[in-house]
């Protein structure tokens, strides 16, 4: 927290610990207890502004516990937040995540105001490919459909036939292949996620060379050491390198990890993904011991309680997508959501 934030920080009230007793109990299990009194005035001030403005706060599962549990109305993975943006009643959305998520919310809810607390909350995957790169790939592979991971800019989505998340990548690839009659699909930008998808389908994939700066750092040696030292089950995100996935007891998306824990209830587990994912799941599964060979996402951690408060107070950092780009990107996102709806039938 910088000097400006401290100077404008809301003041402590003695009744806050009573008013937020349940939240205090939750946060003290997840973060150092001395931090909780520092967060409560911000949480209270944000909740007051949220009510005043009729806003909905959406937080990705990689957000820190004080945001995820303290101020968020809707939480989840990229797919859940995209669906929520399209469906929620509020005309004001504060997206606590990275920039491509806020763009997706704006594309799916074009008449709503979408704010992001920090414009610099980016993504290494989104910055690894441009719209021009997609056009070049199409020229090299004429007639081959393009599936883009949602971790891409609106401009890249606009050049794509469909989007996907890690939760539905296999289903989207197979759906677009069936729709177009192609046995080959261009899949971008995450080469590790693409490599994993390729093991789950007979569709031939043309891959890009992007990778997530959080997940690419994990090693097979770390996974083996964690299993041997702590006798822990290994759960890995498919954005990890293939040699890490080979060591895992389960490979799955952010949402699938939670479902696996619900089913298996292991005594100890290591979540090979972003650190806050394990923090937030620990609250749901108190009987599971979480071993944390994790990495922090520096972009997700740019979102803080003070800049959420400032975004609501000043209505700042509104996200805009050019109408032509938004219309074409919407088609790709709608295809992704349509696959999800078919899977739920």
pLDDT greater at residue 123 or residue 6: 123
Structure tokens at 169: 């990548």
**pLDDT tens column, 214-250:** 999 999 999 999 999 999 999 999 999 999 999 999 9
Q: Span 248-256, mean pLDDT?
A: 92
Confidence of residue 9 (pLDDT cuts 50, 70, 90): confident
Given 3.50.50.60, 3.60.21.10, 3.40.50.10800, 3.40.50.300, which CATH number is that of 3-122+300-314?
A: 3.40.50.10800
Is residue 97's pLDDT more than 80? Answer: yes
Would you kindly state where each structural domain of the chain is located, as residue ranges?
3-122+300-314, 126-212, 215-291
- Topology match between the domains 3-122+300-314 and 126-212: yes
Of the candidates 213, 202, 206, which has an alpha carbon nearest to the alpha carbon of residue 174? 202
Strand partners for 148: 163, 188
pLDDT of amino acid 231 = 94
195 CB-contact burial (10 Å; exposed 0-12 / middle 13-18 / buried 19+): middle
User: In this structure, which topology does domain 126-212 adopt according to CATH?
Assistant: Rossmann fold (3.40.50)
Q: Are 66 and 43 in contact (CB under 8 A)?
A: yes
Which CATH superfamily groups domain 215-291? NadA-like (3.40.50.10800)
Q: How far apart are CA 167 and CA 189, in angstroms?
A: 16
Q: How far apart are CA 155 and CA 163, in angstroms?
A: 12
């Amino acid at each position: 927290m910088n000097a400006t934030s401290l100077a404008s920080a809301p003041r402590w009230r003695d009744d806050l610990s009573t008013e937020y007793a349940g939240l205090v109990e939750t946060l003290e299990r997840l973060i150092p207890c001395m931090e909780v009194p520092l967060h409560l005035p911000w949480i209270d001030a944000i909740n007051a502004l949220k009510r005043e403005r009729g806003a909905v706060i959406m937080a990705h599962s990689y957000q820190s516990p004080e945001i995820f549990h303290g101020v968020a109305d809707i939480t989840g993975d990229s797919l859940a937040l995209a669906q929520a943006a399209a469906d929620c009643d509020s005309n004001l959305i504060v997206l606590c995540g990275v920039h491509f998520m806020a763009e997706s919310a704006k594309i799916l809810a074009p008449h709503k105001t979408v704010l992001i607390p920090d414009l610099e909350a980016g993504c290494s995957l989104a910055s690894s490919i441009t719209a021009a790169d997609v056009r070049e790939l199409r020229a090299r592979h004429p007639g081959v459909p393009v599936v883009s991971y949602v971790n891409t800019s609106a401009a890249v989505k606009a050049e794509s036939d469909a989007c996907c998340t890690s939760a539905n990548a296999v289903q989207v690839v197979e759906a677009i292949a069936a729709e177009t009659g192609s046995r080959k699909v261009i899949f971008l930008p995450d080469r590790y996620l693409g490599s994993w998808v390729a093991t789950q389908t007979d569709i031939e994939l043309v891959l890009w060379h992007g990778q997530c700066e959080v997940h690419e750092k994990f090693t097979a040696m770390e996974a083996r050491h964690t299993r041997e030292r702590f006798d822990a089950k290994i759960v890995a995100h498919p954005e990890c390198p293939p040699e890490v996935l080979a060591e895992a007891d389960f490979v799955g998306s952010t949402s699938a990890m939670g479902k696996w824990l619900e089913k298996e209830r292991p005594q100890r587990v290591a979540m090979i993904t972003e650190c806050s994912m394990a923090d937030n799941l620990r609250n749901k599964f108190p009987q599971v011991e979480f071993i944390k060979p994790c990495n922090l996402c520096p972009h997700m951690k740019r979102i803080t309680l003070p800049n959420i408060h400032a975004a609501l107070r000043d209505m700042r950092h509104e996200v805009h997508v050019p109408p032509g780009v938004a219309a074409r990107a919407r088609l790709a996102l709608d295809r992704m959501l349509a696959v999800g709806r078919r899977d739920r039938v």
